[in-house]
Structures are given as structure tokens and as C-alpha cells.
Amino acid sequence: MAGAATPFITVAILWQAFAMFGPFPPRLFPGVDKIVSTFFHLVFNGILPAHALATLLRLAAAFALGAAAGVTVGMLMGRSRWAERLLLPVVSVGNPIPGLAYAPLFVIWFGLGNLPAVLLVAFAAAFPIAVNTWSAVRAVKEIWIRAAQSMGAEERQLFRTVGLAHGRAVRRARCADPRRDAAVPRRGVGGDAQDGPLRHPQRRRGPTSPTA
């Protein structure tokens, strides 16, 4: 316990020494005592909890929007070859870019306030959700599709009971263990992986004639 607290104590001592003997005035570089007293003052006055709650509400709203958009785009890419060809390049380009890189654009487009903050977080969260949903749909085994079809499942039921259920299971597994990755065929921009069975069931090949 003492070893874990040593770095924090060292930083606090150095911070306080620099605040007392450094070139900056206390208004620009306050000491540790001033920071701690202000923190407890804001907590007991209710100012800090109110702002923390507002931040959590913005994050919840942004994640809900991002999850809805990401799941929709991912399912469309997993179900439709046309949608995949149209949306996969956009997702492949936007996914590696940090969310903060879009901040100046959202400020220019929407100004300051809660709206650009919510939209920015939702926009940044939608890309990884779309990628995970797309890969989960592509990982559905063909035998599950054929089993559901043999029991009379229609297209909507197949989409809901097989595709969505498998996608949720894969996302839960990845959230529980980020190092775990589903064995799905991947295709980036310009790749040539085979289509998943949920979208385009593989054609049965007829018997081939034996060669000499």
C-alpha cells in the first residue's frame, strides 16, 4: 500500500515545492493545499457532483446514438454486399482516426455547447461498434443458417434470431477479454475475403468427375 502511494506523494511534494518557489503566481499554479481545499469545497457545495452528473448524461446519450448508428451500419455491411462496398471504405478510413481530431470540425459546424460534445463522442464511438458488428455478422456459421431455414425461419427471423444474437455474443466476449478475437474473415479496403454465410450462402458444388 505504501509503495503504491509513493509516486503520488512524491509528485505532491514536487508540485507544492514548485508552487511555493517557482516562477508562476498562485493563481496560475496553485499549491496542493489549495487544490485539495477547493475540491472538497466544490463537492460539499454540490457544484462538482452536478457537473459530473451532466457529463455522465452527455456520455450516455452520445454512446446510445453511437451504438445505434454503429450497429445499424455494421449490420447493413454484414447483410448487403452493396452496402459493404459503399460503407466499408468510409469505416476503414474513419476508424483509426482519433475522435479528438474531429473536434475542430464539430465546433465549426455546431458551435459550442452540449450538442457538439454529444455528436462528437457518438461519431467517434460509432466506428469501432460498426467494425465489431460487421465482423460478428460475417462470423455466423453456415450450419446455423441452414438449421434456422430448415425450421421455417423467414428472412427477418433469420436476421433477428441468428444474426443479432450472434453479434451480441461476440461483442460480449470481446468486452470481457479484449485480446480475444473472433475467427472471422476480414477484408479491408480492396481486400478479397469470402462473403459470410449470413449474407450469401455458399453454393453447393456438384460431384466432380474423378481424374486419372
For the segment 93-103, what is each residue's pLDDT rounded down to a tens digit?
888 888 888 88
Asked whether the whole model's pTM tops 0.85, one would answer no
CATH assignment of the domain containing 90: 1.10.3720.10
Kindly state the cell numbers that stand for 116. 457538439
Angle among Cα 185, 190, 196 to the nearest 5 degrees reads: 30
Q: Are 137 and 71 in contact (CB under 8 A)?
A: no
Q: For residue 24, is it within any domain?
A: no
DSSP assignment letter at 101: G
Q: Where are the alpha helices (DSSP H) in 80-208?
A: 81-94, 103-110, 114-138, 142-150, 155-158, 165-176
Low-confidence stretches of the chain (pLDDT beneath 70) = 1-2, 141-146, 148-212
Give the number of domains in the chain. 1
Q: For residue 83, is it within any domain?
A: yes
| Domain residue limits at 157 | 47-176
pLDDT at position 56 is 94
pLDDT at position 208 is 47
- Distance, in Å, from the CA atom of 26 to the CA atom of 15, rounded to the nearest integer, reads 12
